[in-house]
Amino acid sequence: NRWKPEEMHRSIAHPGAWEFIGQLGAEGFDKLHFMRSGDPTQRLYPLREVGDDETMPIMGPGLGDSEKGWEVTGNPHSNFQARLWAQDCAIFVELKVEPRPAIVFRTLADTARDTYQLVGSFCDWRLAQAVEFTSPDPARPGLFAATFQMGQAYREEFQIIVNWNVSQVYHPVVAGKPGRSFA
């Protein structure tokens, strides 16, 4: 429906949850995200669009990447159900297309709301080849690290991407100037 907001209703079967029941189109495909009160600046969306990978965390609420959404696939004109709820400081999204079992996604832990990727000359600036930051020391929450291999010139340039979204980037104010501050 070209990202037109649809009304969700409180679930009778699952108290505290909101749900939407829809029908796939003739292609057997739809894509969706959630907005609080129809506000696009309060969207919930997957970190990356990867089909039914339940390990892919829910991001937001926030503006984020407006084209990201959960892919719902099945037989053409199949009924599907999208359910949203919060429990124990986490947000859950459940997607079900008849006759397959439901798939459930959830937010990251409180301490890891965002993910960070390192992209640069070492990977030809291809986001698909970016290096994921990890949190190597549980005793130092908020400290992230990433490693990459230096090229033969022993000089690489890079940027830090937030949540695989190229519109959320940390980079030096002046390109190619080692030791300069990040913007």
In this prediction, residue 15 carries a pLDDT of 87
> What's the pLDDT score for residue 125?
93
What is the three-class DSSP state of 34?
A: strand
For residue 183, what pLDDT is reported? 46
For tokens 């991407």, the residue is: 161
Distance CA 126, CA 140 (A): 30
CA separation, residue 152 to residues 37, 67, 124, 147 (Å): 53, 38, 14, 16
Structure-block tokens of residue 94: 């459940």
pTM of the model: 0.66
Strand partners, 87: 90
DSSP 8-state secondary structure symbol assigned to residue 15: T
pLDDT of residue 78: 93
Q: Cβ–Cβ contacts within 10 Å for residue 43, how many?
A: 20
Closest CA to 93 of 63, 56, 123, 140: 56
Q: What does pLDDT average to in each consecutive run of 10 residues of the chain (183 residues)?
A: 80 91 92 86 82 80 77 92 87 90 81 78 91 78 83 86 83 68 49
Beta-carbon neighbour count of residue 152 at 10 Å?
5
- Cα 62 to Cα 168: distance, rounded to the nearest angstrom: 12
